[in-house]
Structure 1
Amino acid sequence: MTTTAPAPDFEVRQHDSLGLRVQHLLHANPVLGPLAVLLLAIVAFSIVNVRFFSAANLSLVLAQVTVIAVLALGQTLIILTAGIDLSAGAIAVFSSVLMASFCTKVGLPGVLALLLGLACGTAMGALNGVLVTRLKLPPFIVTLGTLTIFFSLNAVVSQSETVRGSDMPRIMSWTGNTIPIGSFRLTYGSIIMLLLFAFFFYALRSTAWGKHVYATGDDAEAARLAGIQTNRVLFSVYTVAGLLYAVGGWILIGRLASASPNVGTEYNLDSITAVVLGGTSLFGGRGSVLGTLIGALIVGVFRNGLQLAGVEVVWQGFAIGLLVLIAVSLDQWIRKVKT
C-alpha cells in the first residue's frame, strides 16, 4: 500500500525547489545579481532626482569610476585565484608619480616616461608575485607590506609635491580628454578602460591562460595535479595586475590633470568593493570581469545618486559597506549550491 506525503512537506519541497532554482541560476550566471542591482539603482535615483539621468551626470559617473574600474580589473584576476591585493592603489599612484618624475625631473620624452612608468608598475606587481609564489607568503600579508613600501617610496620620490599637468607632456594627461557624443562626453581614459575589459573578457573565457586562472582559484592542488603550473599562473596574474594598476595611474593623471602623491588612500578598498559587488567570489574560481565592471558602476551610481539626493558622505559610505556585506553573504549562499 502506497502512502502519500503530507501536504506541509510538499509545500516545503516546493519552496525549497524555487530557492534552489534561483541558487543554481545565480551560480551559473553571477552577473545577473549585480546587473539587477545596477538597473534598480539607476531607476530609483532617476526618480529621486531627475538630474541623475542627464547626459552630463552620466558622463561624470563614468569618468569617476574609470580609474577604480581599471584597478578592479587587475584585482579581479588576483581574486579569481583566491588571492587579494591591498597594494593596488599604491602601485597606481606611485606609477603616476614616477611617470611625472621621469618627465619633469629626469627630462625624458613623454612616450618614454609613460613606458617606463608602465614598466615600473609591472615590476611592482611582479614583486608581489615573486613573494607569493617563491616565498609562499600569504597574498594578504605580502600586499599589506608592499602597500606601505610603495606609499613610502611614493612620498620620497615626489617629495610630497604635486606635478601639474601643464608641466608634463600632453600624452601624460591625454586620457582626460573627451569625445562629445551629443550631450554625453566620453574620456579617452574610459575608452581605454572598456577596451581592457573587452580584452580580458575574451582572455579569461577563450584562452588556456584564462582557464588556468579559474582552475587555480577553484582548487590549486587539483589544478597542479592536472598539469597546470600554478605558480606560473599566479606570478603572471600579479604581474599583469601590476601593469593594469600602472595604466590606472596614467588614467588618474588625466582625470586629475596632475600627478599627486596624496590621493588613492581609498582605491584599495574601492577596487575590492567593485569586485565583490560584481559577483566574483573571494574564495576564488568564480566570477567575471563583466561583473566587475558592473560592480564599479554600482559604486559610482550609488555615490553619485546619494549625493544628488542630499545624503551625507558618512551615510554614503554606510550604504556601500552594507552592499558589500550583502554581496559577500549572497556569495556564501551561492557557493553552497549542489551540482
Structure 2
Amino acid sequence: MSTTTREPESAPDFDVRRHDSLGLRIQHVLHGNPVLGPLAVLIVSIIAFSIVNTRFFSATNLSLVLAQVTVIATLALGQTLVILTAGIDLAAGAIAVFSSILIANFCTKAGMPGVPALLLGFVCGTAMGAFNGFLVTRIKLPPFIVTLGTLTIFFSLNSVVSNSETVRGSDMPALMTWAGNTFPIGGFRFTYGSIIMLLLFAFFFYALGSTAWGRHVYATGDDIEAARLAGIQTNRVLFSVYTVAGLLYAAGGWILIGRLASASPNVGIDYNLDSITAVVLGGTSLFGGRGGVLGTLIGALIVGVFRNGLQLGGVEVVWQGFAVGLLVLVAVSLDQWIRKVKA
C-alpha cells in the first residue's frame, strides 16, 4: 500500500490565501453594510481638509457645507428611490427648478397666498414625477429615455413660464423664502431647509427599512421578474417611486427658493448629475436593490466637503470637478467589485 506525502504549503501561497481571505472579508462586510465605505471616505476627507486648512473644521464653515448640500441632498433622496428600482431620473433638477418657478408665479402673477401656492407647486412637481412613472410603467419606455426627454420638456416649459426672468424673494410671501432662514445651535447656524431635508431623510429611512412598501422597492430593484412572481405589483411600486420622487424634487425647489432668496430659471443645470453623484458615492448600486438613504446623505456631504475643502485649499474649480468625477469612478468600480461577492 503506497502512501503519498503532502508537501508543506509554501509561504508565498499562504500569503496569497491570507490576502484573498482578507479581501473577501472586506467584500462581504461592504456588501452587507454599504454605508461603511462612504462613511470612511467622509471621515478621512474631513480630517485631511482640516489639516490642510484649519478654517475647514470651524463651526461657520461646517454650517456652510451643510447649507450648500441641502438642495442636492433633497434631490438625491428622490433619486435614491428611483435608482433602488434599477432606474435613473435625469429630470430631477428640471422638476425642482420648474417647481420653484411655478411656486413663485402662483404667488406673484396669480396672486395666490403662500400656503396654497406652495401646495399647488408640490402638486405640480408630483404630477411631473407621476408623468415619468406613467411612461415607464404603462408605455414601457426605458427610464433613461423617459427622463432624458422630460428633462428637455420641463426645462423648456420653465423658460416659457418664467420668460427667463428671476422672481425676487421680496416679491413673494415670506413662506417662500422661509427655508433659507437660519437659527443658531451652539456655534453652528442651521437653515430651516437643512432641518426639513434631515427630517425627510429620517422619514424615508424608516419607510424603506420598516414598511412593506420599502421592502417592495428593494425587491423590485433586485429582480423585478422574481418580485412580480412573488405577488408584488411591480408597476404600482415603480409608479409610486417616480411620483414620490417628483414630490421630493418639488420640496427641493421650495428649499432652493430659500437658498437663493429668489426663483431663478437659470440654475440647476448640474443638479441632475450632482444628485446621481451623491447617490453613487453613498453606496447605492446603479443596478438596483442595494443601498439606502443614509448612504445618500453621506454621499451628498462627501461632495460638499470635497468642493469646500478644495476651494479652501486654493484648488481651481475645474480641478474640483475632476476630483468629484474621479470619486464617482472609484465608487462605481467599488460597487462592481462588491456585487461579485459570493453568498
* Amino acid of the structure 2 residue aligned with 1:221: E
Paired residue for 1:193? Answer: 197
Paired residue for 1:62? Answer: 66
Choose which of 139, 142, 149 in structure 1 pairs with 2:143: 139
Choose which of 33, 41, 44 in structure 2 pairs with 1:40: 44
Equivalent position SS for 1:185 = strand
Q: Aligned equivalents of 2:187 and 2:13: distance in 1?
A: 58
Q: Aligned equivalents of 2:322 and 2:133: distance in 1?
A: 33
* Amino acid of the structure 2 residue aligned with 1:321: G
Q: Aligned equivalents of 2:167 and 2:8: distance in 1?
A: 75
Paired residue for 1:3? Answer: 6
* Amino acid of the structure 2 residue aligned with 1:26: L
Greater displacement, 176-185 / 110-119: 176-185
Paired residue for 1:125? Answer: 129
Q: Aligned equivalents of 1:322 and 1:11: distance in 2?
A: 31
Q: Aligned equivalents of 1:266 and 1:22: distance in 2?
A: 34
Paired residue for 1:168? Answer: 172
Q: Aligned equivalents of 1:181 and 1:225: distance in 2?
A: 51
| Per-residue deviation, 1:27 | 0.3
CA RMSD of aligned residues (A): 0.7
Choose which of 248, 251, 258 in structure 1 pairs with 2:255: 251
Higher radius of gyration, 1 or 2: 2
Q: TM-score normalised to the size of structure 2? A: 0.98
Paired residue for 2:92? Answer: 88
| Per-residue deviation, 1:13 | 1.6
Equivalent position SS for 1:135 = coil
> After superposition, where does 1:256-295 map in structure 2 within 5 Å?
256-295=260-299
Paired residue for 1:304? Answer: 308
Q: Aligned equivalents of 2:239 and 2:197: distance in 1?
A: 23
| Per-residue deviation, 1:4 | 4.3
Paired residue for 1:116? Answer: 120
Q: Aligned equivalents of 2:263 and 2:327: distance in 1?
A: 31
Q: TM-score normalised to the size of structure 1? A: 0.99
- The alignment-based identity, stated in percent, is 85
Choose which of 14, 21, 38 in structure 2 pairs with 1:17: 21
Q: Aligned equivalents of 2:236 and 2:77: distance in 1?
A: 20
| Per-residue deviation, 1:2 | 5.2
Q: Aligned equivalents of 2:226 and 2:161: distance in 1?
A: 44
- Structure 2 residue ranges without an equivalent (≥5): none
1:124-165 CA-to-partner distances (Å, cap 9, x unmatched) read: 000000000001100000000000000000000000000000
1:5-38 CA-to-partner distances (Å, cap 9, x unmatched) read: 5323333221111100000000000000000000
- Structure 1 residue ranges without an equivalent (≥5): none
| Per-residue deviation, 1:183 | 2.3
Q: Aligned equivalents of 1:233 and 1:100: distance in 2?
A: 32
